């Protein structure tokens, strides 16, 4: 076992001009864990993930991935990390196979042809391999994006709304694949989502952010008990509407 957490965030702050997007948050994710980052729009989830990935430089504090400080030491670990987000696309004119071929080479994946074939079989993409990505449906594109995120069998996988804009059946299918990958690879997964059912199903820990702060951090079960709620959605609404502490105190 490594002697450092897979992801360690310490007193992380990001200020954009006068806005404190992330305001002194700290947490550590153990290797092999799956954690949700919850919060309303503007809570600071995406900025936090971007700092963990090294896309954004923190104003102060540190974000470490597999022991490497981001973004300063990012090239020590980026080949073991990947990310999927509906806000990033893959080149539309390239076929699924071409896209996976390019990204596989960027990540120096060994036996790339085999990896592409195996991954496309697992993600039900075999029939689509030679179709341009731009001609695929939203659900198919999400599966391709997931294939790209898994191409290097990452030790650390970050996901931003992985099932946004998917129908319930496809979303459930994607969750199943993510669960399987995490178990088989022992990867650490950090998932930003608005879908509470997804979080309840997949995650063993939930970090709730609001206005750049961490408002709560616990297992889904303990959050439900502490807030006296039936679902995480109700907990989320309590936190978002500022009723969290009052309700917890009453409990």
Partner 1 sequence: MPAQRVRAMVLRYVYLLRSSWTRLLELIYWPAVQLFVWGFLQLYIAQNSGFFARASGVFIAAVLMWDMLFRGQLGFSISFLEEMWSRNLGNLMISPLRPLEFVCALMIMSLIRLAIGMLPVTLLAIAFFGFNLYSLGLALAAFFANLIFTGWAVGIVVAGVLLRNGMGAESLAWTLMFVLLPLVCVYYPVGVLPDWLQPIAWSLPPTYVFEGMRALLMEHAFRADLMLEALALNALYFGAAVAAFLALLESARRAGSLLQTGE
Q: How far is the CB of 6 from partner 1 (least distance, A)?
A: 16
Q: How far is the CB of 181 from partner 1 (least distance, A)?
A: 18
107: three-class secondary structure by DSSP:
coil
DSSP letter string, 126-163:
GGGTTSBGGGS-HHHHHHHHHHHHHTT--SEEEEESTT
Q: How far is the CB of 31 from partner 1 (least distance, A)?
A: 20
Q: DSSP strand E in the chain: where?
A: 7-16, 19-29, 34-39, 60-65, 68-70, 81-84, 156-160, 188-192, 205-210, 213-218
What contacts 176, CB < 8 A, 6 or more positions away? none
Could you say which DSSP state residue 75 is in?
G
Contact set with partner 1 (CB under 8 A): 14, 16, 21, 46-47, 50, 53-57, 71, 75, 78-79, 81-83, 85, 87-95, 98, 101-103, 105-108, 132, 148
Nearer to partner 1, 135 or 222 (CB): 135
Q: Which of 154, 159, 182, 184 is nearest to 171 (CA)?
A: 159
Cis-peptide into 71, omega within 30 deg: yes
Nearer to partner 1, 144 or 239 (CB): 144
Q: How far is the CB of 250 from partner 1 (least distance, A)?
A: 39
Q: How far is the CB of 118 from partner 1 (least distance, A)?
A: 20
Q: How far apart are the first and last CA of the chain?
A: 39
Q: How far is the CB of 214 from partner 1 (least distance, A)?
A: 20
Nearer to partner 1, 95 or 193 (CB): 95
Nearer to partner 1, 25 or 81 (CB): 81
Q: Which of 67, 70, 47, 63 is nearest to 4 (CA)?
A: 67
Nearer to partner 1, 85 or 140 (CB): 85
Q: How far is the CB of 138 from partner 1 (least distance, A)?
A: 15
Nearer to partner 1, 75 or 231 (CB): 75
Nearer to partner 1, 103 or 173 (CB): 103
Cβ neighbours, 10 Å, residue 83: 20
């Amino acid at each position: 076992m490594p002697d450092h957490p897979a992801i360690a965030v310490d007193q992380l702050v990001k200020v954009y001009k006068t806005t404190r997007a992330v305001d002194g948050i700290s947490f550590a994710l153990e290797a092999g864990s799956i954690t949700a980052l919850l919060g309303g729009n503007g809570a600071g989830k995406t900025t936090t993930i971007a700092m963990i990935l090294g896309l954004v430089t923190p104003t102060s504090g540190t974000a470490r991935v597999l022991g490497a400080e981001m973004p300063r030491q990012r090239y020590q670990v980026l080949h073991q990390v990947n990310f999927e987000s509906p806000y990033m696309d893959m080149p539309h004119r390239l076929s699924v196979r071409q896209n996976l071929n390019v990204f596989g080479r960027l990540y120096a994946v060994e036996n790339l042809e085999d990896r592409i074939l195996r991954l496309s079989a697992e993600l039900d993409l075999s029939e689509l391999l030679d179709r341009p990505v731009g001609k695929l449906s939203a659900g198919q594109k999400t599966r391709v994006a997931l294939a790209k995120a898994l191409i290097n069998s990452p030790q650390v996988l970050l996901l931003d709304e992985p099932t946004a804009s998917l129908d319930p059946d496809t979303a459930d299918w994607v969750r199943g694949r993510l669960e399987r990958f995490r178990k088989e690879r022992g990867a650490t997964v950090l998932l930003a989502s608005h879908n509470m059912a997804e979080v309840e199903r997949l995650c063993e820990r939930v970090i709730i952010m609001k206005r750049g702060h961490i408002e709560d951090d616990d297992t889904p079960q303990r959050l439900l008990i502490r807030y006296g709620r039936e679902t995480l959605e109700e907990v989320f609404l309590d936190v978002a509407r500022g009723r969290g502490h009052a309700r917890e105190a009453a409990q």
